[in-house]
Amino acid sequence: MKASVIGAGSWGSAFTLHLGRQNIETQLWVREQNIYDEIVRKKENRAFLPDFIFPSSVSFFHELKETVNKTDVVFIAVPSKFCRSIYKQLAPLLSSNQILVSLTKGIEKDSLKRMSEVMEEVFLPYFHPKISVLSGPSFAREVAECHPTAVVIAAKDFGLAKYIQQLISNAYFRAYTSNDIIGVEIAGAFKNVIAIAAGISAGLQFGNNSTAALVTRGIAEIARLGVKLGSKKETFSGLAGIGDLVLTCTGKLSRNRYVGYELGKGKSLDEITSNMKMIAEGIITARSSYQLAKRENVEMPICEEIYQVLYNNKSPRTALQDLMSRKLKNEYYY
């Protein structure tokens, strides 16, 4: 079989490397001409995943049509703000025989749709898409370094999830299956907002108590929203939920935690993002979380405070103080 990977950022490149090591013939689409030229010459993505040489089973393309030609599975690893545009370009190039796997952890701005919802909307006029979603605690560089990693594959069709599970699993990369696409996507997207909060806490030099509180209460409010939108509460105690949240809130490779950390140290958002090569999805998702919480009448105090910090210039210290001084309540999760 043959696979395509759309997107040569750190995660798309690491996943391509993983597939290539599985001896799967893999075609990687590289958008930027200069990066494409260098990868073709060096067999290495020095811009986003340096120090790793792609195996001979991987080939590189600059044109989408060539990338997806005669492949069985198309893995899409582009930031959420570019997804609809990429889907529109892909739709006339694909067929109903090809499987689509979203590797994106985000919510579309304005429409507030999950990536699988955007996929269905774009692809249905052309064919009925076979859609699955991959999520879980998986830093790109650690996957490239073959650190033991566990993820979850969600699809409405359990057979489809099983197929992808068998395809990508090996001795260091283990996939579990789920039929809760809603929960897996909600968890994967909104954990980035809580990670910004955890980074702020670290930047303010608060300790482990603070991080533990943010992680625990963070998964509670993400789960409240997810269940309201139709997901299963069990999903949030799994890899896509608490697993990915712990990683993103505590790991130094987390882009979203880094944004929060720099905010906590007093830097402006523009100053932080101007020095970043890769996109921190939590910045966009913070607005989506605020809008979805209001629309669904779900209480999400951490996400709301991060929205206020990012978009209304609220002081990070004041935001965390306001969280701690809220009306005292019983502990509940759903």
Digits of tens for pLDDT over the chain (334 positions)? 899 999 999 999 999 999 999 999 999 999 999 999 999 999 999 999 999 999 999 999 999 999 999 999 999 999 999 999 999 999 999 999 999 999 999 999 999 999 999 999 999 999 999 999 999 999 999 999 999 999 999 999 999 999 999 999 999 999 999 999 999 999 999 999 999 999 999 999 999 999 999 999 999 999 999 999 999 999 999 999 999 999 999 999 999 999 999 999 999 999 999 988 888 999 999 999 999 999 999 999 999 999 999 999 999 999 988 999 999 988 874 4
Same domain, 84 and 218: no
Same domain, 50 and 98: yes
Closest to 240 measured CA to CA, from 321, 283, 176? 176
The answer to whether 196 and 306 have CB atoms below 8 angstroms apart is yes
User: Distance of CA 132 to CAs 42, 154, 177, 235, 287, Å?
Assistant: 32, 6, 10, 16, 25
| Cα separation, 161 vs 132, whole angstroms | 7
Q: The domain spanning residue 76 has which CATH number?
A: 3.40.50.720
- Residues with catalytic function: 191
Which backbone phi and psi does 292 adopt, to 5 degrees? -65, -40
Same domain, 8 and 103: yes
Determine the pLDDT at residue 278. 84
Question: 283 Cβ partners below 8 Å, 6+ apart?
Answer: 196, 256, 259, 269, 273, 310
Same domain, 191 and 221: yes
What's the domain count of the chain?
2
The answer to whether 22 and 168 have CB atoms below 8 angstroms apart is yes
Angle between helices 255-264 and 181-203 (to 10 degrees): 30
Same domain, 204 and 165: no
Q: Is 268 helix (H, G, I), strand (E, B) or coil?
A: coil
Same domain, 99 and 121: yes
Determine the pLDDT at residue 167. 98
Neighbour order of strands in the sheet with 58-61: 58-61, 25-29, 2-6, 73-76, 99-102, 130-135, 149-154, 173-178
Does residue 332 fall inside a structural domain? Answer: no
User: Distance of CA 128 to CAs 94, 95, 101, 123, 180, Å?
Assistant: 11, 9, 14, 7, 19
What is the phi-psi region of residue 110: left when phi exceeds 0, alpha when psi lies from -120 to 50, beta otherwise? left
Domain limit, last residue, from 129, 161, 179? 179
Which single residue is written with the structure tokens 């025989």? Answer: 97
Q: The domain spanning residue 314 has which CATH number?
A: 1.10.1040.10
Does residue 193 fall inside a structural domain? Answer: yes
The range of the structural domain enclosing residue 19 comes to: 2-179
What tokens does 50 get?
């340096």
Handedness of CA 271, 277, 281, 284 (dihedral sign): positive
| Cα separation, 197 vs 42, whole angstroms | 38
Same domain, 172 and 204: no
Half-sphere exposure in the Cβ direction for 319 (13 Å, CA):
26
Same domain, 66 and 105: yes
| Cα separation, 128 vs 126, whole angstroms | 7
Angle between helices 301-312 and 208-228 (to 10 degrees): 100
Torsion of CA 160, 166, 168, 173, to 10 degrees: 130
Does residue 155 fall inside a structural domain? Answer: yes
Domain limit, last residue, from 133, 149, 179? 179
Same domain, 228 and 166: no
Q: Max CA-CA distance within the chain?
A: 60
Q: Are strands 58-61 and 73-76 parallel, antiparallel or unpaired?
A: unpaired
Does residue 263 fall inside a structural domain? Answer: yes
Burial class (CB in 10 A: 0-12, 13-18, 19+), 184: buried
Same domain, 53 and 195: no
What is the phi-psi region of residue 18: left when phi exceeds 0, alpha when psi lies from -120 to 50, beta otherwise? alpha
Domain limit, last residue, from 146, 179, 212? 179
